[in-house]
Amino acid sequence: MTMTEVPLRAADGALGRRSGPDLHRAVDMTDPAYLRLGLPLTASPLAVLRAAVRALHPDTRAVRGFRAARKRFYRQMLCAHAARQAAGDQR
């Protein structure tokens, strides 16, 4: 590994630094974090976001350095919910 390559950290989540088409392949409908939210198929994106925020520990929400990781987590939950709605999954 060269000095310019940065390995993925555990805090970066499953999405890592992917973008474009790879982003959609990285989001899996069986994501355990998404399943723990326990949302119905008809939930709005705002309800998904609220549930994702509540799922994080208050100390995790308070650390400024985790802001980018939190945004990735929220985006991942929204993408997983949209994929579930598109598939018509009834879990």
Using the Cα atoms of residue 71, residue 18, residue 36 and residue 89 in order, give the sign of their dihedral: positive
Output the pLDDT for position 5.
Answer: 38
At 41-89, the pLDDT tens digits run 999 999 999 999 999 999 999 999 999 999 999 999 999 999 999 988 6
Contacts with 33 (C-beta within 8 Å, 6 or more apart), sequence order: 55, 73, 76, 77
| pTM of the predicted model as reported, rounded to 2 decimal places | 0.65
Round to whole Å and give the CA distance between 49 and 75.
9
Round to whole Å and give the CA distance between 74 and 27.
12
